[in-house]
Amino acid sequence: MELSLKNFKSQLIQRVILIFMKNYFPIAAASFCSALLAVLVFSIFQKPQKIFIDRNDASAMYTNYGEADPFLSGIQRTFLSSSPTDFIAAAERVTPAVVNIRAVESANYSWWGGSSFGASSGSGVIISGDGYIVTNNHVIEEGNKYQVTLNDRREYEAKLVATDPFTDLALLKIEDKNLPSLVFGNSDSLHVGEWVLAVGNPFNLESTVTAGIVSAKGRSIDILEGEYTIESFIQTDAAVNPGNSGGALVNTNGELVGINTAIITRSGKYEGYSFAIPATLVQKIIRDLRDYGEVKRGLLGIKIAPVDGQIAKELNLPSVEGVYISTVTPEGGAEDAGMQDGDVIVGINGMKIKTIPELQEQVGRLHPGSGIKVEYIRNGKRYSANVTLKDKDDAARIVVKGDDEEILGHLGFTLRELSTDERRKLRVSGVYVENIKVGSPIEKTEMDPGYIITKVGDVKVSSVQEVINEFKKKKGKEIYLEGFYENYPGEYYYTFEVK
């Protein structure tokens, strides 16, 4: 009996195994083969990616090093921090695009039959393959001729495009193609403590690379003068010496995150801290210099002061930070949005604002006509307002995009609407011609900046958009403008074709 029971169990186990092999094994085998095939196909077709790990949340993000227009492309990456600390690859990528600049001032004095010469030198960064170079204004302001030497010792005569003393930036141009250039990085994403490299030509030494960390951000050191100065420097401990001015501050991905500008020193040489203009601000400034020959500054229409402990206590602020509005400018963007004296700005477009330099940097990136969301505290309560930035004449220039921008760009002039004061003074509605590009169809009409357009054809206009709409209707046809100049009598007419 016992033996028979054992045989029964053995036969039962064999039968179960046979059923499993017959019914389920093919399914399991097919699944395994499918998974193996999928992995094989993925490994063949998937291109390798560069992976960087964010130090805060350890999430993997991807990036690439594609070509980009430095004036138009915006930011090349969106992750917060450049984790690699391989300085070799970054240095190899950056040094060919950092140049030596020699500014020479020469003046001939025919009365005495002689001449005098002066010279200064510094660094610059090629930011486009067709030869645009950004540097500091103080590097070139003493000269009237500019000699540029590349890392491979090629030499060029550079042309000065334009300068902006309020941010200490200048734009030069050399004539060549396919030059080595740097891609702009996101200076907002820099962390205090993150590694950076400073590349320049100190003491006329070629392509010197030094390393350090970001020591602070949004730093003001009161070296620039003027009503519209912006000081929101990146502070680093990378060694920067005379001759480094205008050179590159890059992250370990080799992306341009700043233009080295200043040091704090008692000896005249490096003593521990250097300061760079953030790349996000640089990008806006040099684009304006290229396109308009000057910087188009959007203004909030306020006078400001820092928040200290006493102000924070009196206004019932949650912390000692923010920007105090001492005066709201009449007819400015802030007043139009309902802001008042005594308000404290604590945010711009969702970004927390703690200091005046942070506010100046955020607003300094925008053009007149741009709309921003301002968060502020009044009587201990938090509010928000949508403010349209205006220019120094309290006029809100309309920011045009797409086809509208293409039309004005092809014609070669910049328009803005008249300010309230201008309309009151001139007793007329119209559109103001602010800039005219050299060699453009508008310049060929011999129109001058300052012309006020009152009619496009037979249609009266009072806004930039109305002018653009009339241009669109007349595309491919000849059109004439009617208008006047403030300081010259009579009407003036200009004819051209809108293509």
Whether residue 478 is found in the same domain as residue 424: yes
Whether residue 409 is found in the same domain as residue 488: yes
Comparing C-alpha atoms, which of 494, 298, 275 is closest to residue 394? 298
Whether residue 375 is found in the same domain as residue 413: no
Tell me how far apart the alpha carbons of residues 122 and 381 are, in angstroms, rounded to a whole number.
50
Q: Is residue 192 part of a domain?
A: no
Q: Could you report the per-residue pLDDT of 255-309, keeping only the tens digit for each? A: 999 999 988 777 767 777 899 999 999 999 998 898 888 888 888 989 899 999 9
Identify the pLDDT of residue 260.
Answer: 94
**Residue that terminates a domain, selected from 121, 142, 173:** 173
Out of 245, 274, 370, 419, the active site residue is 245
Whether residue 409 is found in the same domain as residue 437: yes
Q: How many domains does the chain have?
A: 3
CATH code at 307? 2.30.42.10
Out of 164, 168, 288, 394, the active site residue is 168
Q: Is the Cα dihedral 285, 291, 294, 300 positive or negative?
A: negative
Q: Is residue 139 part of a domain?
A: yes
Enumerate long-range contacts of 401-406, CB under 8 Å, 24 or more apart. Answer: 403/472, 404/465, 404/468
CA dihedral 290, 467, 423, 385 (to 10 degrees): -70
CATH code at 122? 2.40.10.10
Comparing C-alpha atoms, which of 158, 91, 168, 165 is closest to residue 131? 158
Q: Is residue 418 part of a domain?
A: yes
Residues 6+ apart with CB under 8 A from 74: none
Q: Is residue 461 part of a domain?
A: yes
Identify the pLDDT of residue 390.
Answer: 85
* Beta strands at 248-251 and 302-306: parallel, antiparallel or unpaired: unpaired
Whether residue 373 is found in the same domain as residue 409: no
Q: Is 494 exposed, middle or buried (0-12, 13-18, 19+ CB in 10 A)?
A: middle
Q: Is residue 40 part of a domain?
A: no
**Residue that terminates a domain, selected from 141, 173, 205:** 173
Which amino acid is located at 248 in the chain?
Answer: A
Identify the pLDDT of residue 402.
Answer: 61
Out of 123, 138, 187, 419, the active site residue is 138
Q: Is residue 473 part of a domain?
A: yes
DSSP tally for the chain: helices H, then strands E: 12, 26
**Residue that terminates a domain, selected from 336, 361, 388:** 388
CA dihedral 433, 437, 441, 445 (to 10 degrees): 60
Tell me how far apart the alpha carbons of residues 8 and 300 are, in angstroms, rounded to a whole number.
93
367 a catalytic residue: no
What's the pTM value of the predicted model, to 2 decimals?
Answer: 0.65
Return the DSSP state at 53.
Answer: E
Q: Is residue 263 part of a domain?
A: no
Which amino acid is located at 182 in the chain?
Answer: L
245 a catalytic residue: yes
Q: How many CB atoms lie within 10 A of CB 193?
A: 10
Whether residue 381 is found in the same domain as residue 317: yes
Identify the pLDDT of residue 483.
Answer: 95
* Beta strands at 371-378 and 344-348: parallel, antiparallel or unpaired: antiparallel
Tell me how far apart the alpha carbons of residues 324 and 82 are, in angstroms, rounded to a whole number.
34
Tell me how far apart the alpha carbons of residues 355 and 308 are, in angstroms, rounded to a whole number.
11
Q: Is the separation of the CB atoms in 165 and 127 below 8 Å?
A: no
Whether residue 443 is found in the same domain as residue 372: no
Domain range for 150 is 100-173
191 a catalytic residue: no
Whether residue 407 is found in the same domain as residue 466: yes
The residue written with tokens 């039962």 in the block is: 12
Q: Is residue 427 part of a domain?
A: yes
Comparing C-alpha atoms, which of 262, 263, 255 is closest to residue 283? 255
Q: Mean pLDDT for each consecutive 10-residue tract of the chain (499 residues)?
A: 54 61 62 64 51 35 41 49 70 93 72 55 93 94 90 93 93 94 90 93 80 91 79 90 90 93 76 88 91 86 90 90 90 90 93 92 86 91 90 62 74 82 82 82 88 93 89 87 89 89
Whether residue 378 is found in the same domain as residue 407: no
